[in-house]
């Protein structure tokens, strides 16, 4: 089903380029246990979430990462800029600065931004419907955050989210839209601002190959994999394990690598099914599928 030969790094012999987004086993284990389980399996990178870090303690996690030799492929997450009022916006900008500080403490290569959308929509009570307005607010929020991020040397990775999450979670919904924003806010392509390409969100896009090529090495800060199931039974928590769905993972990896990306393939699976399995099974399956189909 995939073209026979694609010009990609060989993942079949080991899993040195595998990273685990720690949401994948968040229901099974706290973060310190996740780090140990990864280290025991030779998984050398993770992308943790702020709440998971906070639950164990930032400094403790930072020490554990150093001692275990596990590095980060990204830190989840900043963003959620649109707010009901000026106080809310100020709080959001503060919070993004704290996320940058934490990312630095943990040695993350980038802070991933889920940019937010209509205020209140996430709790089912959108305060307004003006998606153009929140897109402008997101632009301004990223611009403000980017100033601090540049000072601190922490790259920001805008993650376009699937259009089915446009109302609640992110009003940036295509790679083209994210890259337009990068060009606007960082025209010199300094590396301070780029994108996180999560195939779950963008696999369907007829312009995907073209926009990955456009992004290039300077903008491609993270690469996330999982799979799109048919049928998909839930808009949020029914992602598939790599190989169980219809995304042409290796084709997409060939595209990002041709564009200059040479980092981790980060597995991020929000799934009621996989959260109900033993964490060991999930990690072992991630390793096997990483070698076989990513």
Interface residues with a second copy (CB under 8 A) are 1-2, 118, 121-122, 124, 126, 128-131, 135, 162-164, 166-168, 173-174, 177, 203-206, 228, 230-233, 235, 246-248
Q: Which is nearer to a second copy, 250 or 290 (CB)?
A: 250
Quote the least distance from Cβ 236 to a second copy, whole Å. Answer: 9
Q: Which is nearer to a second copy, 66 or 129 (CB)?
A: 129
Question: In angstroms, rounded to a whole number, what is the distance separating the alpha carbons of residues 137 and 115?
Answer: 10
Quote the least distance from Cβ 282 to a second copy, whole Å. Answer: 23
Quote the least distance from Cβ 181 to a second copy, whole Å. Answer: 10
Residue entry with tokens 């009570």: 125
Q: Which helix (H) or strand (E) holds 46?
A: strand 45-47
Strands annotated E in 80-192 = 111-114, 156-158
Quote the least distance from Cβ 231 to a second copy, whole Å. Answer: 6
Which DSSP state fits 161? P
Q: Which is nearer to a second copy, 90 or 127 (CB)?
A: 127
Q: Which is nearer to a second copy, 220 or 247 (CB)?
A: 247
Q: In whole angstroms, how far apart are CA 110 and each of 139, 221, 277? A: 18, 7, 30
Q: Which is nearer to a second copy, 59 or 130 (CB)?
A: 130
Strands annotated E in 160-264 = 193-198, 220-225
Which are the contacts of 146, defined by CB distance < 8 A and separation ≥ 6? 156, 185, 186, 192, 193
Question: In angstroms, rounded to a whole number, what is the distance separating the alpha carbons of residues 272 and 276?
Answer: 6
Cβ contacts of 162-166, under 8 Å, gap ≥ 24: 162/200, 162/201, 162/202, 164/235, 165/117, 165/201, 165/235, 165/236, 166/117, 166/131
Tokens of 172: 């940036």
Quote the least distance from Cβ 165 to a second copy, whole Å. Answer: 9
Q: Which is nearer to a second copy, 100 or 247 (CB)?
A: 247
Q: Which is nearer to a second copy, 232 or 281 (CB)?
A: 232
Quote the least distance from Cβ 278 to a second copy, whole Å. Answer: 26
Quote the least distance from Cβ 206 to a second copy, whole Å. Answer: 5
């Amino acid at each position: 089903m995939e073209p026979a030969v694609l010009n990609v790094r060989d993942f079949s012999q080991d899993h040195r380029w595998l990273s685990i987004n720690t949401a994948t086993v968040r229901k099974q284990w706290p973060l310190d246990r996740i780090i140990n389980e990864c280290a025991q399996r030779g998984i050398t990178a993770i992308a943790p979430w702020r709440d998971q870090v906070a639950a164990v303690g930032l400094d403790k996690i930072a020490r554990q990462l150093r001692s275990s030799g596990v590095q980060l492929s990204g830190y989840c997450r900043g963003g959620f800029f649109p707010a009901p009022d000026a106080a809310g916006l100020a709080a959001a900008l503060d919070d993004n600065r704290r996320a940058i500080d934490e990312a630095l403490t943990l040695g993350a290569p980038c802070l991933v931004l889920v940019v937010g959308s209509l205020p209140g929509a996430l709790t089912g009570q959108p305060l307004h419907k003006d998606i153009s307005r929140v897109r402008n607010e997101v632009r301004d929020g990223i611009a403000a955050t980017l100033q601090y991020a540049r000072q601190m040397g922490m790259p920001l990775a805008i993650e376009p989210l699937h259009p089915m999450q446009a109302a609640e979670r992110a009003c940036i919904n295509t790679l083209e839209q994210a890259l337009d924003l990068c060009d606007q806010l960082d025209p010199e392509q300094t590396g301070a601002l780029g994108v996180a390409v999560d195939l779950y969100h963008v696999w369907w896009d007829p312009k995907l190959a073209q926009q990955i090529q456009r992004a290039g090495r300077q903008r491609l800060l993270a690469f996330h994999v999982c799979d799109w199931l048919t049928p998909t039974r839930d808009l949020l928590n029914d992602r598939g394990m790599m190989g169980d769905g219809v995304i042409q993972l290796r084709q997409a990896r060939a595209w990002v690598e041709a564009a200059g990306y040479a980092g981790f393939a980060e597995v991020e699976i929000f799934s009621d099914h996989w959260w109900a399995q033993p964490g060991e099974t999930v990690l072992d399956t991630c390793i096997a599928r990483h070698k076989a189909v990513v």
